[in-house]
């Protein structure tokens, strides 16, 4: 089983399309501030939504979520926005302020 976060950037119309299931996710930072951030999906504490295919005969014992359970979103982005896609290992263990500082530094290095 797995959580999943998919983002597609349409450069022609500067739009990001997302599908996210579970506790992996993304955030979009503009000028050092978060303008979009995905929300975790959990059945209960420490049990995120996950795409899975239960073994035959065990479907009733396994939490299994379909792709239809994903949160979907679309929004405009601007040149200079920074998009971070990460697992819960990053979002649960790295303070948001530190993530913002690192992303800001990375954005300055590429301009």
Output the domain CATH number for residue 36: 3.60.40.10
Q: Which of 65, 104, 103, 84 is nearest to 16 (CA)?
A: 84
Domain assignment of residue 9, given as a range: 4-110
Task: Compute the mean pLDDT over every residue in the chain, rounded to the nearest whole number.
Answer: 92
Q: How many domains does the structure of the chain reveal? A: 1
pLDDT digits (tens, 9 = 90+) for 33-78: 999 999 999 999 999 999 988 888 876 778 889 999 999 999 999 9
Angle 36-38-39 from CA coordinates, rounded to 5°:
130
Residues facing 4 on adjacent strands = 21
pTM for this one? 0.86
> Is the confidence at residue 111, as pLDDT, over 70?
no
């Amino acid at each position: 089983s797995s959580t999943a976060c998919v983002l597609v950037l349409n450069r022609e119309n500067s739009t990001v399309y997302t599908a996210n299931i579970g506790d992996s996710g993304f955030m979009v930072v503009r000028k050092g501030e978060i303008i979009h951030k995905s929300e975790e999906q959990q059945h209960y504490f420490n049990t995120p939504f996950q795409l899975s295919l239960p073994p035959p005969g065990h479907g009733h014992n396994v939490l299994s979520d379909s792709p239809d359970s994903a949160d979907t979103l679309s929004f405009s982005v601007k040149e200079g926005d920074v998009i971070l896609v990460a697992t819960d290992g990053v979002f649960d263990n790295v303070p948001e302020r530190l993530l913002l500082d690192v992303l800001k530094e990375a954005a300055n290095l590429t301009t």
